[in-house]
Structure 1
């Protein structure tokens, strides 16, 4: 049985294929029509229009010319059934407006498009149910690959459900990778959140700071938890009391950082340095501090984490921990698309570097 790869509106009986402006079409152009116009078999037309190189000239040229004249477009879903996979690679992120995710998406797209594939981008808004729904959707559409980007959480039930959904995706022929903690049984690109925050704390202590406040994300978000833990470890390394740090939890967003910084000032700002566990929270905190008349770094130093691209326009320049975001996206795409399907899952650790800038001043 030959599967018809697709349809678009076709000509009426008796109309010239190269009909002029104003011609009306009321039915689907069938693959059989393309084959008949090109004077080839249905199987030959199917192979040409599926992108296979096994058909040479002049038949290939005749099929392509006929398809063009008839305005035929292959049906991607039918081709996916025939091939066992589509040309689509799914990319699930938490928030398309967050520069952290948009930079990673850029790296994914660059790698995927080099292979003449198409990226389907979806934002879960950190909703676990939506994440599961998108994975199921990618499975039903026979996506060739799937990349999930965003921190895992302490929700074990959701993790178990997602692991099972990804197992089904791979069983259907898809390949997957994650950019986060290595907890889903797939290839993983793992940013060194804990180690990077530990290095940052050491550097801030060496600038003479001893009183710190941390603006953290929700307690169930593992990236935030790891960065807080690493920061405390770095303080202990330098002889500072890790338990004496003020830690406030809020949304993992710019608005979350702004709100927490306002609360910090309202309670009486005693810290000489504030660490926001990601850069967008740090930018929100910077806005709140300015509004409250607190000068950075004259009155308090401020640091973030990620080194998102928008920091280039921030004054004062923000001290942060740099992750190679675009490279992380490209590496995840490479793992998902280029690894042997039979190979065991790989975890690639990504080094995090401290970048000291004008937002943190020395006290010694």
Structure 2
């Protein structure tokens, strides 16, 4: 059985990273004494270094990695297009990885991209609210950055990362304010999964706007669902099932994701409920098909292509900049776009 680098590291009494740098020609130097000890252990154990691994250790590849929660979701598809187009203009290839919104999968993807020596990693999905998951991901990204990799995030992934930050909270507040301003009072909100930071940001925006009208979350109908078409259908089904004596149907449903809102529209259409005549519907993101739905969907416009493009731009400029340069946050405005699904043609 071939001797592994881990066995060499243990024999020499050094970390795996130190053994790798000593034997694989990394640009990061190792002290003469440690390097000699590692080489002596490798020779004694008969370790044969892997030539491709040595080459990858000397320099990063002309590749970047983009992590998405769901590549089938048009929101993430638009982010990916912005990112890949910008990378291509810089002469780089892009590896797009689908995590399913699972932090353990995301952690494995980060480690794989690190092993592949990609030039930069773009975190294009929402950060997680679980402190343990966040800490594990941060630790893996710290190792990657220590070896020269650049990391940028789209939306909030915590402190320490260059970030493209659309105003999720402000956008949700503005749209809620617009619906209340149209006279809708029996409002139902379909929020996203609690494990994502963006869900909390958008729901906080709804809370802000309600307070301006003397209302609280406890005075409206609230459901949580996955940001998916199925999630939207199931959530509005629960809302309708809960209505009856003493609890009227909502006048308007605000789904805090366009894909979720598409599911709401489909379920209401199947039940023969007119939109917006009986129930108005609004979403969030302004995915490419939002304006083409029947009725066209009221939503919050997010500059999705620009967000993906700016994230790659930040990553590439970070590589060219001094590592000590402060973290940069690019704040992008968003705006509600009123369409026929809420009675505005």
TM bracket, shorter-chain basis: 0.7 to 0.9
Give the corresponding residue for 1:185. Answer: 160
More deviation in 225-234 or 326-335?
225-234
Partner in structure 1 of residue 56 of structure 2: 80
Q: Find the aligned partners of 1:226 and 1:206 in 2 and give their Cα distance.
A: 22
Mind listing any 5+ residue stretches in structure 1 that lack a counterpart? 1-74
Alignment partner of 1:348: what SS?
Answer: strand
For the pair 1:347 / 2:326, whether they are aligned, the reply is no
Q: CA separation in 1, counterparts of 2:237 and 2:339?
A: 23
Query: TM-score when scaled to structure 2?
Result: 0.80
Q: Write the distance in 1 (CA, Å) between the matches of 2:267 and 2:259.
A: 13
Report if aligned partners of 2:128, 2:157 keep a CA contact under 8 Å in 1.
Answer: no
- Structure 2 matches for 1:152-191, cutoff 5 A? 152-191=127-166
Q: Over aligned residues, Cα RMSD in angstroms?
A: 1.6
Instruction: Answer whether contact 1:265 1:292 (CA < 8 A) is retained.
Output: no
**How far did 1:313 drift?**
2.2
Matched, 1:321 2:304: no
Give 1:261 shift: 0.8
Runs of 4+, deviation exceeding 6 Å: 75-78
Number of positions where the alignment pairs a residue of Structure 1 with one of Structure 2: 287
- Shift of residue 172, structure 1, vs aligned partner: 1.0
Partner in structure 2 of residue 91 of structure 1: 66
Give the CA deviation at 1:182.
4.2
Alignment check: 8 A CA contact 2:193 2:226 kept: yes
Shift of 1:345: 1.6
Give the drift of 1:97. 0.1
Contact 1:89 1:118 in 2 (8 A): yes
**Greater helix share, structure number:** 2
Task: Give me the whole-angstrom Cα distance separating, in 2, the residues matched to 1:311 and 1:86.
Answer: 38
Q: Distance in 1 between matches of 2:115 and 2:193?
A: 33
The structure 1 residue matched to 2:279, chosen from 278, 300, 307, is 300
Determine the C-alpha separation between the residues in 2 that align with 1:119 and 1:257.
Answer: 31
**What SS class does the counterpart of residue 309 from structure 1 fall into?**
coil
Residue deviations 1:219-269, cap 9 Å, x none? 232211221121121122133444301111122211101101111112225
Cα 1:341/1:100, change in 2 over 3 Å: farther
Bigger radius of gyration among the two = 1
Kindly provide the CA deviation profile for residues 98-134 of structure 1, in whole angstroms up to 9, marking residues without a partner as x: 0000000000011100111100110001111110111
Q: Report the counterpart of residue 201 of structure 1 in structure 2.
A: 176
Q: Structure 1's 85 and 357: CA in aligned 2 closer, same or farther, altered over 3 A?
A: same
Equivalent of residue 191 in structure 2, options 212, 216, 223: 216
Distance 1:113 1:77 in 2: 25
Corresponding residue to 1:119 among 71, 81, 94: 94
Task: Give 1:287's aligned residue.
Answer: 266
Contact residue 210 and residue 240 of structure 1 kept, 8 A: no
Gaps of 5+ in 2: 1-50
> Is 1:238 the counterpart of 2:216 in the alignment?
no
**TM-score normalised by structure 1 residue count:** 0.76
Q: Deviations over 1:67-110 (max 9, x none)?
A: xxxxxxxx98665334x211110000000100000000000011
Residue equivalent to 1:59: none
Residue 292 of structure 1 and its aligned partner are, at CA, apart by 1.3
The answer (yes or no) to whether the contact 1:233–1:242 under 8 Å persists in 2 is no
Residues 167 and 334 in structure 2, CA contact (< 8 A), matched pair in contact too = yes
CA distance in structure 2 between the partners assigned to 1:261 and 1:132 by the alignment: 33
